[in-house]
Amino acid sequence: MKIYVDADACPVKDTIISIAKDYHIQVILVKSFSHFSNTEQPPGVETIYVDTGAEAADYRIMKLARKKDIIITQDYGLASLGLAKGCIILHHKGFTYTNDNIDQLLQTRYASAMARKSGKRTKGPKAFTAEDEKKFRELFIKTIREMDGR
């Protein structure tokens, strides 16, 4: 099992790295070159840089991920592709994407895009909170333990 992180705007990278280290699971951060950093990552963490195109990180993650890998993203399109591949997909606000909720999430995204296209304003995502981080941490540990059989 590996953990792939859609890392450009992910607010829980440090949490992911810390927990994955405890379970000896490799983490792959996928970022666009526009987020390049010279910061050296700890052992067990790899950073892959991709072009700055809109879905470049998504395509790279889907090329690398295998069934039962964990993908962390806020991108519903990537989540849908990962589910189809048999991956476990988590959102940084502490919920799991499933075959039961992905269609509704994609439909909501589409409706918002159509509203914006017609000139309407739509609400953006709520600010990330300490409670969101706590929910993610708990879900992430639970997911790893269930996959590990612990």
> Residue 109 sits in a domain of what CATH number?
3.40.50
**CB half-sphere exposure, 41, CA atoms < 13 A:** 19
Reported pTM:
0.86
3-state SS, one letter per residue, for 66-89: CCCCEEECCCHHHHHHHHHCCCEE
Residue with the two structure tokens 């910061």: 39
Q: Could you read off the pLDDT tens digit of each residue along the chain, which spans 150 residues?
A: 999 999 988 999 999 999 999 999 999 999 988 777 878 889 999 999 999 877 899 999 999 999 999 999 988 889 999 999 999 999 999 999 998 888 787 777 667 777 777 888 777 678 899 999 999 999 999 999 998 765
Altogether, the residues listed in the chain come to a count of 150
Give the residue numbers spanning the domain of 46.
2-148
User: What's the structural domain count of the chain?
Assistant: 1
3-state SS class at 121 = coil
d(CA 108, CA 87) in angstroms, rounded, equals: 22
Largest CA distance in the chain: 51
* Residues paired with residue 47 on neighbouring β-strands, in sequence order: 29
